[in-house]
């Protein structure tokens, strides 16, 4: 007897339809799975047999062959268990043959028949809709997420017995509903920070235009503290951004159900991270931190401690907003549009340029070499942080996230209007052509920039970078045109980093 069921394999960030075919014929009892299965898929044999028998159904004492088509696509993970079990039940006449038509089936099985969560429910639901399927059966944990895909009947289940009940046309559980948006986690607020008016202003500029930011200063002045407060002033995710973030995080196994997210991701990997941990990799490519930070913030604390190959690997993601991973026969393209925020001490002891610094020239040189030059060159705002004075620490904080966020939102609205339909989401994403058409530079501003350029403090690329930051500063000031003050403020935020980059190159 032949039977088949539809399920999906995760391939990069997409889901690909997999048809589970089963052939049951007379012969010595056996159970084989073919179609490029990895070890967890092959082990499905034991889970499926156990789940079927322990749920009170029969496992055919015949020659059973399961094929996962297309045979050329690598199948990985335990998500195929439930679909395989369903085909066994159909092929052995325990479930009507038409029951699986139009349904996608996804889930891992326990030996007792429990249906367990698997990563990627949202991507699978999107794939099921695209493939023209009407419904999807999957574990409860993923059902809320899958229900975000409109036009698909999503049935959440907990056990194999429940699945059989549904397939036999018995009582169906109510279709899964979209869960209310997850409440934004309590975020640390800028109101905790005393002093640092310039740093907070630079963070607001960075958030408003999506610019990359480097905080540099001695130990204990609040670099980490400030960087962790950046998400609190970023605009909320749009619906399509949120779906993309959820799809990525679900495939990475970082979430279990829940409604639409609104907070932007904030990823702060430890500096021991490898290049593939940062940008993605593995024999079946999985996304790295750069992709988990897509539409959010990638925070590299203690930048100079990161291994240089890891930092070098970030160049393509930073430049192109995506990274291509090739492993064996598989190629995956992962999106990586994040804001890079980095923090570092200015020298190995951390006290330069004060008199307390005990570093030698050689120490300095080593420290600079450890910061990747090409990476520094992609940072728009270099912000030195000094120790706050005793008075500043005693005074009340100078701002709060609510206030800065309001300014960021207004500046983003201006950018949205100006950049609508161009493909750039914010000023930092403008390419050279967009920069030329959308900058609206006043002649006085141009004079100021040309002066800085002639003085030799700027490379041509750094000049473009300063122009983008100047555009953001003008947006924060509510100005259609970029004036002299905006240009000078932008230069103030970055001429230093150019010098550092030159020293490193
Ligand atoms: N400006 C400040 N306002 C309020 N608290 C501060 C400030 N600066 C530092 N602190 C306090 O000091 C702690 C340490 O700051 P933080 O970890 O951000 O320092 P850092 O600059 O990252 O140091 P390191 O270079 O050692 O990593 C903070 O958690 C906070 O309690
Ligand atoms: Mg720190």
pLDDT digits (tens, 9 = 90+) for 248-285: 999 998 875 567 888 899 999 999 999 999 999 887 78
Q: Which residue has the tokens 């040309």?
A: 450
Q: Is residue 224 over pLDDT 90? A: yes
Ligand 1 geometric centre to CA of 225 (Å) = 6
Pocket probe mutation, ligand 1, options 194, 195, 198, 222, max atoms within 8 Å of Cβ: 222
pLDDT at 498: 42
Ligand 1 geometric centre to CA of 403 (Å) = 22
Ligand 2 geometric centre to CA of 390 (Å) = 20
pLDDT at 243: 92
Query: Are residues 260 and 239 in contact, defined by beta-carbon separation less than 8 angstroms?
Result: yes
Question: What number does the ligand 1 atom closest to the CA of 343 have?
Answer: 22
pLDDT at 258: 67
Q: Is residue 504 over pLDDT 60? A: no
Helix ranges (H only) for 331-389 are 361-370, 373-376
* Mean pLDDT rounded to a whole number for the chain: 89
Ligand 1 geometric centre to CA of 267 (Å) = 19
Q: Which ligand is nearest to the CA of 226?
A: 1
Q: Whose CA is nearest to atom 26 of ligand 1?
A: 219
Cα→Cα distances 295→79, 321, 407, Å: 28, 10, 19
Query: Are residues 251 and 214 in contact, defined by beta-carbon separation less than 8 angstroms?
Result: no
Ligand 2 geometric centre to CA of 223 (Å) = 5
Contacts of 417 (CB under 8 A, 6+ apart): none
Name the DSSP letter for residue 233.
Answer: G
Pocket probe mutation, ligand 1, options 191, 225, 394, max atoms within 8 Å of Cβ: 225
Q: Which residue has the tokens 């001490």?
A: 345
Q: Whose CA is nearest to atom 18 of ligand 1?
A: 222
Q: Is 163 exposed, middle or buried (0-12, 13-18, 19+ CB in 10 A)?
A: buried
Ligand 1 geometric centre to CA of 226 (Å) = 8
* pLDDT higher at 456 or 490: 490
β-bridge partners, 17: 8
Q: Is residue 336 over pLDDT 80? A: yes
Q: Whose CA is nearest to atom 1 of ligand 1?
A: 194
In whole angstroms, give the CA distance from residue 123 to residue 128.
Answer: 9
How confident is residue 21, by pLDDT bands cut at 50, 70 and 90? Answer: very high
Q: Is 469 exposed, middle or buried (0-12, 13-18, 19+ CB in 10 A)?
A: buried
Q: Which ligand is nearest to the CA of 219?
A: 1
Percentage of the chain beyond pLDDT 70 is 95
In whole angstroms, give the CA distance from residue 398 to residue 386.
Answer: 16
The whole-number average pLDDT for the span 30-35 is 94
Q: Which ligand is nearest to the CA of 217?
A: 1
* pLDDT higher at 499 or 53: 53
Full-prediction pTM beyond 0.85? yes
Per-residue tokens: 194: 């005393």
Closest CA to 363 of 290, 418, 312, 304: 304
Ligand 2 geometric centre to CA of 221 (Å) = 8
Q: Whose CA is nearest to atom 15 of ligand 1?
A: 222
Q: Is residue 358 over pLDDT 60? A: yes
Query: Are residues 294 and 244 in contact, defined by beta-carbon separation less than 8 angstroms?
Result: yes
Q: Which ligand is nearest to the CA of 344?
A: 1
pLDDT at 491: 86
Q: Which ligand is nearest to the CA of 223?
A: 1
Q: Whose CA is nearest to atom 16 of ligand 1?
A: 222
Ligand 1 geometric centre to CA of 479 (Å) = 35
* pLDDT higher at 326 or 477: 477
pLDDT digits (tens, 9 = 90+) for 378-437: 888 988 898 888 888 888 888 999 999 999 999 999 999 999 999 888 999 998 899 889
* pLDDT higher at 344 or 173: 344
Q: Which ligand is nearest to the CA of 268?
A: 2
* pLDDT higher at 361 or 159: 159
Q: Which ligand is nearest to the CA of 385?
A: 1
Question: What number does the ligand 1 atom closest to the CA of 388 have?
Answer: 1
Cα→Cα distances 327→67, 86, 281, 330, 331, Å: 24, 32, 8, 5, 6
Ligand 1 geometric centre to CA of 302 (Å) = 13
Read off φ and ψ for residue 121, nearest 5 degrees: -55, -40
Residues with CB under 6 A from ligand 1: 193-196, 219-225, 345, 388
Q: Whose CA is nearest to atom 4 of ligand 1?
A: 193
pLDDT digits (tens, 9 = 90+) for 88-98: 999 999 999 99
pLDDT digits (tens, 9 = 90+) for 308-317: 888 889 988 9
pLDDT at 182: 62
Q: Whose CA is nearest to atom 30 of ligand 1?
A: 222
Q: Is residue 185 over pLDDT 70? A: no
Ligand 2 geometric centre to CA of 388 (Å) = 15
Residue 78's Cβ-side half-sphere holds a number of Cα atoms within 13 Å equal to 17
- Which of 113-117, 133-137, 453-457 comes out lowest in average pLDDT? 453-457
pLDDT at 262: 81
3-state secondary structure of 203: helix
Peptide bond into 267 cis (omega under 30): no
Q: Is residue 14 over pLDDT 60? A: yes
How confident is residue 84, by pLDDT bands cut at 50, 70 and 90? Answer: very high
Query: Are residues 269 and 304 in contact, defined by beta-carbon separation less than 8 angstroms?
Result: no
Strands 297-300 and 339-344: parallel
Ligand 1 geometric centre to CA of 489 (Å) = 26
Question: What number does the ligand 1 atom closest to the CA of 302 have?
Answer: 27
In whole angstroms, give the CA distance from residue 50 to residue 171.
Answer: 25
Ligand 1 geometric centre to CA of 232 (Å) = 17
Q: Whose CA is nearest to atom 9 of ligand 1?
A: 222
pLDDT at 257: 55
Question: What number does the ligand 1 atom closest to the CA of 225 have?
Answer: 18
């Amino acid at each position: 007897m032949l039977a088949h069921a539809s399920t999906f394999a995760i391939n990069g960030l997409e889901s690909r339809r997999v048809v589970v075919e089963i052939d049951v014929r007379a012969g010595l009892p056996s159970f084989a799975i073919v179609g490029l299965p990895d070890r967890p898929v092959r082990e499905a044999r034991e889970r499926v047999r156990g789940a079927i028998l322990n749920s009170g159904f029969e496992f055919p004492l015949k020659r059973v062959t399961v094929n996962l088509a297309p045979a050329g696509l690598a199948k990985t993970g335990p998500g195929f268990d439930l679909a395989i079990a369903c085909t066994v039940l159909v092929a052995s006449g325990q479930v009507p043959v038409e029951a699986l038509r139009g349904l996608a089936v996804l889930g891992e099985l326990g030996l007792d028949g429990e249906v367990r969560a698997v990563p990627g429910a949202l991507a699978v639901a999107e794939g099921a809709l695209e493939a023209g399927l009407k419904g999807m059966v999957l574990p409860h944990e993923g059902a809320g997420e899958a229900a975000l895909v409109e036009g698909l009947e999503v049935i959440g289940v907990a056990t194999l017995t429940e699945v059989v009940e549904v397939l036999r046309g018995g009582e169906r559980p109510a279709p899964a509903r979209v869960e209310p948006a997850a409440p934004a986690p309590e975020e640390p607020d800028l109101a905790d920070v005393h002093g640092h008016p310039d740093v907070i202003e630079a963070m607001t500029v960075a958030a408003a235009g999506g610019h990359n930011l480097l905080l540099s200063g001695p130990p204990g002045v609040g670099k980490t503290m400030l960087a962790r407060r950046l998400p609190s002033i970023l605009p909320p995710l749009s619906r399509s951004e949120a779906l993309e973030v959820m799809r990525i995080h679900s495939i990475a196994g970082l979430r279990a159900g829940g409604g639409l997210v609104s907070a932007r991701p904030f990823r702060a990997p430890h500096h021991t991270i490898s290049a593939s941990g940062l940008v993605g990799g593995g024999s079946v490519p999985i996304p790295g931190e750069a992709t988990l930070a897509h539409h959010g913030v990638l925070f590299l604390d203690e930048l100079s401690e990161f291994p240089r190959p890891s930092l070098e690997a970030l160049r393509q993601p930073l430049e192109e907003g995506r990274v291509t991973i090739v492993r064996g026969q598989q190629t995956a393209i992962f999106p990586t549009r994040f804001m890079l925020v980095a923090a570092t001490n200015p020298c190995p002891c951390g006290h330069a340029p004060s008199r307390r610094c005990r570093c030698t020239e050689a120490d300095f040189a080593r420290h600079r070499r450890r910061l990747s030059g090409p990476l520094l060159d992609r940072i728009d705002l270099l912000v030195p942080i000094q120790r706050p004075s005793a008075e500043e620490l005693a005074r009340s904080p100078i701002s709060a996230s609510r206030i800065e966020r309001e300014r960021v939102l207004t500046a983003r609205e201006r950018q949205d209007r100006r950049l609508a339909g161009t493909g750039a989401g914010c000023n930092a994403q403008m390419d050279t052509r967009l920069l030329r058409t959308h900058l609206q530079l006043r002649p006085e501003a141009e004079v100021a920039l040309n002066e800085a350029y002639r003085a030799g403090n700027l490379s041509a690329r750094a000049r473009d970078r300063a122009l983008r930051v100047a555009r953001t500063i003008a947006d924060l000031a509510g100005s259609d045109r970029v004036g002299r003050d905006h240009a000078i403020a932008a230069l103030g935020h970055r001429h230093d980093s150019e010098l550092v980059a030159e020293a490193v190159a």
